[in-house]
Amino acid sequence: MLRTHTCGQLNISNLGETVTLCGWVQKSRDLGGTTFIDVRDRYGLTQLVFNTDTDVQLREQARELGREFVVKVTGKVLERSNKNLKIPTGEIEIAVTELEVLNAAKIPPFLIEDETDGGEELRARFRYLDLRRNPIRNNLVLRSKMAQEVRKYLSELDFIEVETPVLIKSTPEGARDFVVPSRMNPGEFYALPQSPQTFKQLLMVSGFDRYFQIVKCFRDEDLRADRQPEFTQIDCEMSFITQEDILNIFEGLTRQLFRTVKGLELDEFPRMQYADAMRLYGSDKPDTRFGMQFVELNHIVKGKGFGVFDNAELVVGINAKGCAAYTRKQLDELTEFVKRPQIGATGLIYARHNDDGSIKSSVDKFYNEEELAKWSAAFETEKGDLILILAGQTDKVRKQLNELRLEIGGRLGLRDKDKFSPLWVVDFPLLEWDEESGRYHAMHHPFTSPKPEDIAMLDTDPGNVRANAYDLVINGTEIGGGSIRIHDRALQSLMFKHLGFSPEEAQKQFGFLMDAFEYGAPPHGGIAFGFDRLASIFAGLDSIRDVIAFPKNNSGRDIMIDSPSTIAEAQLNELKIKSVVS
């Protein structure tokens, strides 16, 4: 080893020792006849001291060092006169006797500091420099520790880690596939897996009754803060189990991660039915760190001559506690917020519960004091509260009010990143109607089992069939989801029929799985956690990018290596592909 210790290892117990450190120059300070240099590696930072009285030439050599130079130094550990107790090495310094520059460095394009002057795009361009900063490096260390704990927990429960293929078959359900041309099979393509779903089911057929892997998945979909084109799942499957078994085991995994990584002991996770989540929060991933549940008003407000309410399928609102003092400007901002195209509301109705006890609304023309008192009773308002109401088509208005609720929660400081509120959302619909294609799609995936008592409704009322499906939600983010799977060919064929597949299409796409079900497939089910999302919640981040070593930007580009990029004509010819960009 070139070094005897790391830059975060030495302390007062090492006084008098001769040591060798290697690392990067963080900063340099000249004070009279002495030069102090902070040298850094991933373990920490140590102060070096070069003194004119001791070695003039060595001090002059040190003064030539620039930021991010890679150096090797040897010297004696001394006690610092001006101690820095904020860092582990802050009581000591190294009186350097030997200095070797292992590599010089250009001036970095931004400060390699916890608080940097580099913008997001610049830091992405020089990601290898950004990774030297403590906040980013600490995120990856956190992620690594989480992965180790996942493997430890599942291995102790007899789960077997099995790698599944990366080059697979394209399937029509879910997000768009990334496809890979096959040189040996011209005109044919592999797809990168959106998840190892069919393979983990085949492992259950094979008798591997407890499988897991921490695996890369790929989806060609529009990106946002919690999405990347390639992402990582903690993927798991079990045989001979019930839904309750899966919830208990993977709630245990989550609580173990919080205990060992965050030092937090969580209570048992509550359960919430999908229908209740949508009715009370307008979201299948409700943020339950705060209340502000929805209150439905159809029975109170309709029939009073106010067309916005009378013509709406649903009138629903929230009580923003303590917000009655909002100014007209603030209320206009909220109105513009809900009218943004991505939310799509047509307007916002409000009512204040004033300090004198009166209720004043933006629609007083249509509602008298007695009627507004009913509003107050429904929302259980107190003096100083603000009622915010939206109206419209049920599904749309619930989603709109969910966005408003989260915005108000953020403004009131109720979405505390140091508070964690997990829950299971259960009993999802099996199918959801897609207006564009004019048919039902699987809400989770085509292999999700319906509730046994609802199977008869597949032919008569498919929209109300419930799935044996469940999601783990933490702080308004879907962390994981799974289901009990279909494990017999007849039911799987019926499911494909209701998803609009002809028998021939189903056989072409999924014949290998259907055939496997005829050779003794056990009852099985599983779950997949979004590892990047879970790591970002542990790190207190809004985006998953900074828990990924080399992420893509919102356009799906890696601007550091300039990818994706064109390929040579010779490669295209070899693949029998012609590229035409319209």
Residues of the binding site for L-aspartate = 173, 219, 444, 485
Using left for φ > 0, alpha for ψ between -120 and 50, and beta otherwise, residue 311 falls in: alpha
Alpha-carbon gap, residue 275 to 284, rounded angstroms:
8
In the three-class reduction of DSSP (H, G, I as helix; E, B as strand; rest coil), residue 195 is classed as: coil
The one-letter amino acid code at 60 reads E
What backbone phi and psi angles, to 5 degrees, belong to 519?
-115, 40
Which residues fall in the annotated binding site? 173, 219-221, 228, 444, 478, 485, 530-533
Do 311 and 387 touch, CB atoms closer than 8 A? no
Q: Angle at which helices 328-339 and 394-411 pack, to 10 degrees?
A: 140
The one-letter amino acid code at 42 reads R
Name the residue among 416, 413, 445 with its Cα closest to residue 428.
445
Do 529 and 480 touch, CB atoms closer than 8 A? yes
- Location of structure tokens 């340099």: 28
Residue 547: DSSP 8-state: G
Chain-centroid distance of CA 550 in Å reads 16
Alpha helices, H only, 117-192: 120-125, 127-130, 134-156
Which residues fall in the annotated binding site for ATP? 219-221, 228, 478, 530-533
Sign of the CA dihedral 563, 566, 571, 572? positive
Secondary structure in 3-state letters for 242-271: CHHHHHHHHHHHHHHHHHHHHCCCCCCCCE
What backbone phi and psi angles, to 5 degrees, belong to 497?
-60, -45
Residue 174: how many other CB atoms lie within 10 Å: 16
Using left for φ > 0, alpha for ψ between -120 and 50, and beta otherwise, residue 574 falls in: alpha
Alpha-carbon gap, residue 457 to 528, rounded angstroms:
28
Structure tokens at 444: 């989770």
Residue 87: DSSP 8-state: S
Interstrand relation of 469-474 and 422-426 (parallel, antiparallel or unpaired): antiparallel
